[in-house]
Chain A
């Protein structure tokens, strides 16, 4: 039994990896699409497929065999570094993918540079105060706001402001260094905000540890103390830094799409919309591998930074400092909520679907925020979009709450799925879902659910291990209460409310993730008035009707601020 206990985590990891490989490998069959029909449509336009031509194409590509033969072929190909042949172009997938990966990695490196710069700027004041022995408070409304801005929204905003209005940078393409500035900013700012916030908190906590005073008295220089503080603060953050970079791989897809950068994300999106499943499979695989590698590297760096302290049990215990919630802290979320409510109340009675105005009509009395490219009322669309986006986010939140609670109750069994999920940004999950069942609102919700449960499961698991250590739980067997009865008797009641609160705090984040998928065409289809979709629809007309872009951007920004201000309230 003890051996089995030890094996469970390894088994869980192995089974999950296998399941992901199977899922990706079998995508063409899960999708239920006839590959031959996709190819025919791609190569010969709308020519009517006759059974003979379809059979000929199947024969030509070796698709006549069943799913399992094809799966073994695909896996065998992987071992030979052969990722298959594109259904569209008929050429091997790998060279194109490698080239696109190069572009994406360059973009991500630049974005990470931006993130580091932002993080350093954000935690500079804390370090400065700490080194001078003054009280270190972690602050950062600025950082918090940056953190919450989704990449696709920042991209759209930067595109409007810096490329089109000011004309400082080219709006799209990938030719020279000037092309990298806006995408790197859009991709790096949110990550930088989060990184800066985490780092500031960690540094502030480290400055409260006793050894700082000892070192200062012993005559270490400020530079030496600063280095030691960093080395002490960073290891605990490495997993989160890894997750920030993983999130960048997802964000990069949207950024590449907006700025027309020939990177991996755009290639994969293109493959998804063209139903070129071999290219899609290869892209998803590379993206997942990339994310897993980042996780591994982050963990190795953590171990290297910790060094001997890890197994000497010599780590100082972090001290918890209570921060008193001020009444003003409620001001931001309440104000934001009020603005959103006013927006919804003003727009909900209006008609979001009829083309009742002139295309791109300027704002006026009839249409306070103007009309979009099809002459539909922007105010009505954004208001209805709020209801549908937030409604979908609510469903996602509740479903992920249930999954998270379930997984958190058996943390060892759930280890593999949790790790893989952490390495999967929602966009990549959505690509898999879209490949399997086509773009739809349900698909987008499934994709966000598929990744949103992981933090809730981690929280549940942590709470469960706390509850299990309490006397009234560990002595339950003596009273004849078995492990199954224990769950409704003691564990769920203790765990449910905190995890529910946590899940609700993630609602705005889920709404933004759904909007991102809608924006990329991986979510609800037109004429739905989902926020991401509204933004994507309006983007082509950005010069003539900037309000049609800026209104959904503002709504998304409000949503982000709401999420972050609520989350920071909860931490107090």
Chain B
């Protein structure tokens, strides 16, 4: 059953400005369609500039699309006020690429994790829910009063994941969640994501330029190139028999599988 779907998304940015006029538009998404089922783990791979982060921003309702539509359980999703999007934010959360930069430096871990619970008016006891969330990513109460600059990269990414799962979302959208971490920590974070997904049936979209990380976690892979999805197949098929030449390039570029695989 489809949980989140996008149809014919197009996004373009104005190019560099000319004297007294606007530059030509450059299209970042050229009609992207996809559908995600509950509990599914989907990898979104492609080289830098292929449009995968923009697609993610669209799915997060942070980016105004010029064409197309996003539906979540039949309801349209588009950028708007906090109150208009609360229902969606509770259902779909985000794990960013650069964990330390994505945590407000002046807030403690406890404040960071309870913030979405308070702002999105989640029906729960925020402090207890935050401790549960931190517990499920393997951080105990000693971390509650720390600030982001007192965390390692892996710990910060766990905090970011705890913050995202605190609302008990149905889907996590993650943007290169492990690319800033070193190899052993990578495997741990991927493991945390997999455990969460299996324990609660949380769906995951993982954007990555590194196909090996995606292969370790995902059931299905979407390959993007130049603003289009060029391949959309089960992970195992894709690894065995890549069809699009671009996919083959990505597979050749990938480092050998890590321990997590």
- A311-B17, A311-B18, A313-B16 are known contacts. Are A478 and B89 too (CB-CB below 8 A)? yes
A480 contacts B120, C-beta separation under 8 Å: yes
Question: Sorted from nearest, which 10 A-B pairs have the closest CB atoms?
Answer: A480-B119, A471-B102, A482-B82, A480-B120, A479-B116, A311-B18, A471-B101, A472-B104, A478-B94, A472-B102
B163 and A311 form a contact (CB under 8 A): no
Q: How far is the CA of A478 from the CA of B171 in the complex (A)?
A: 13
A480 pairs with B82, CB closer than 8 A: yes
Q: Which of B16, B17, B81 contacts A482 (CB 8 A)?
A: B81
A303, CB-defined interface residue at 8 Å = yes
In the assembled complex, the CB of B111 is this many whole angstroms from the nearest CB of chain A, namely 10
Q: Can you list 15 contacts pairing A with B, beta carbon distance less than 8 Å?
A: A310-B19, A311-B17, A311-B19, A471-B96, A471-B102, A472-B101, A475-B96, A477-B89, A478-B62, A478-B94, A480-B82, A480-B121, A481-B82, A481-B119, A490-B104
Secondary structure at the B interface, as helix, strand, loop or mixed, is loop
Instruction: Give every chain A residue within 8 A of B86 (Cβ-Cβ).
Output: 480
Task: Tell me the minimal C-beta distance from A301 to chain B in angstroms.
Answer: 14
Most buried by B among A310, A481, A489, A490: A481
Query: In the complex, A311 Cα to B103 Cα: how many Å?
Result: 37
- CB neighbors of B among A452-497 (8 A): 470-472, 474-475, 477-482, 485, 489-490, 493
Within 8 A of B (CB), among A473-528: 474-475, 477-482, 485, 489-490, 493
Within 8 A of A (CB), among B45-69: 60-62
- The CA-CA distance from A470 to B99 in the complex, in Å, is 11
Judged by a CB distance under 8 angstroms, whether B105 is at the interface is yes
B97 CB–A CB distance under 8 Å: yes
Residues of A with C-beta under 8 A to B94: 475, 478
Which residues of chain B come closer than 8 Å to A310, judged between CB atoms?
19
Residue of A nearest to B81 (CB): A482
Q: For A303, list chain B residues within 8 Å (CB).
A: 19
Any A CB within 8 A of the CB of B93: yes
Q: How far is it, in angstroms, between the C-alpha of A472 and the C-alpha of B16 when the chains are bound?
A: 27
Q: Which residues of B contact A481 (CB under 8 A)?
A: 82, 115, 119
Q: Does B34 contact A (CB under 8 A)?
A: no
- Which residues of chain A are near B240, meaning CB under 8 Å? none
Within B1-53, the residues touching A (CB, 8 Å) are 16-19, 23
Knowing that A475-B60, A479-B116, A479-B119 are A-B contacts, what are 7 other residue pairs whose CB atoms are under 8 Å apart, sorted by A's residue number? Answer: A311-B18, A470-B101, A471-B101, A478-B62, A479-B120, A482-B81, A485-B119
Overall SS of chain A's interface: helix
**Nearest A residue to B89 by beta-carbon distance?**
A480
- Does B98 count as interface, using CB distance less than 8 angstroms? yes
A470 to B148, CA, bound (A): 14
CB distance from A410 to the nearest CB of B (A): 18
The residues of A that contact B102 with a CB separation of less than 8 Å are 471-472, 475
- Count contacts between A and B, CB distance < 8 Å: 61
A477 pairs with B85, CB closer than 8 A: yes
Q: How far apart are A553's CB and chain B's nearest CB, in angstroms? A: 47
List residues of A whose CB falls within 8 A of some B CB: 303, 310-311, 313, 470-472, 474-475, 477-482, 485, 489-490, 493
Contact among B16, B60, B97 for A478, CB-based, below 8 A? B60
Which B residue's beta carbon lies closest to that of A470?
B101
Q: How many residues of B contact A (CB 8 A)?
A: 31
With a cutoff of 8 Å between Cβ atoms, the chain A residues found around residue B121 in the complex are 480
Alpha-carbon separation in the docked complex, A477 to B85 (Å): 9
B128 at the interface (CB under 8 A from A): no
A56 to chain B, nearest CB (A): 56
Known: A310-B19, A311-B16, A311-B17. A477 touches B82 (CB 8 A): yes
A471→B97 contact, CB < 8 A: yes
Residue of B nearest to A2 (CB): B64
| A-side contacts of B96, CB under 8 Å | 471, 475
Chain B positions within 8 Å of A470 at CB level: 101
- Cβ contact within 8 Å between A479 and B62: no
Q: Is the CB of B82 within 8 A of A493?
A: no
**Inter-chain contact A477/B104, CB cutoff 8 Å:** no
User: Are B93 and A478 in touch, CB under 8 angstroms?
Assistant: yes
Query: Min CB distance, A309 to chain B, in Å?
Result: 11
Task: A480 to B17: give the CA distance in the assembly, Å.
Answer: 34
CA distance A329 to B60 in the complex (A): 50
Assess whether B106 is interfacial by the CB under 8 Å rule: yes
Q: How distant is B192 from chain A, measured CB to nearest CB, in Å?
A: 20
- The interface centre, meaning the residue of A474, A480, A481, A490 with most chain B CB atoms within 10 A of its CB, is A480
- In the complex, the chain B residue whose C-beta lies closest to that of A306 is B19
| A343 and B16 alpha carbons, distance in the complex (Å) | 57
Which of A303, A313, A475, A481 is most buried by chain B, counting CB atoms within 10 A of its CB? A475
Residues of B within 8 Å of A480, CB to CB, are 82, 86, 89, 115-116, 118-121
Chain A residues in 8 Å Cβ range of B17: 311
Min distance, Cβ A434 to any Cβ of chain B, angstroms? 40
Could you tell me the distance in whole angstroms from the C-beta of B110 to the nearest C-beta in chain A?
Answer: 15
A302 nearest CB across to chain B (Å) = 12
Residues of A within 8 A of B18 (CB): 311
Residue of B nearest to A1 (CB): B64
The docked-state distance in angstroms from the alpha carbon of A269 to that of B57 is: 59
Supposing A477-B62, A479-B115, A480-B86 touch, asked if A472 and B103 sit within 8 A by C-beta, the answer is yes
Chain B residues whose C-beta falls within 8 Å of the C-beta of A482 in the assembled complex:
81-82
> How far in angstroms is the closest Cβ of chain A from B86?
6
How far, in whole Å, are A246 and B23 apart by their CA atoms in the complex? 33
Closest B residue to A477 using CB positions: B62
Q: Using Cβ atoms and an 8 Å threshold, which residues of chain A touch B105?
A: 472
B62 CB, nearest partner CB in chain A, Å: 6
A474 contact set on B, CB distance < 8 A? 62
Nearest Cβ in chain B — how far from A492, in angstroms? 11
Instruction: Specify the chain B residue showing the minimal Cβ separation from A311.
Output: B18
Which B residues touch A472, using CB under 8 A?
101-105
Which residues on A sit within 8 Å (CB–CB) of B118? Answer: 480
- Within the complex, the shortest CB–CB distance from B153 to chain A, in Å, comes to 14
Distance to closest chain A CB from B108 (angstroms): 13
Give A177 Cβ to nearest chain B Cβ, in Å: 43
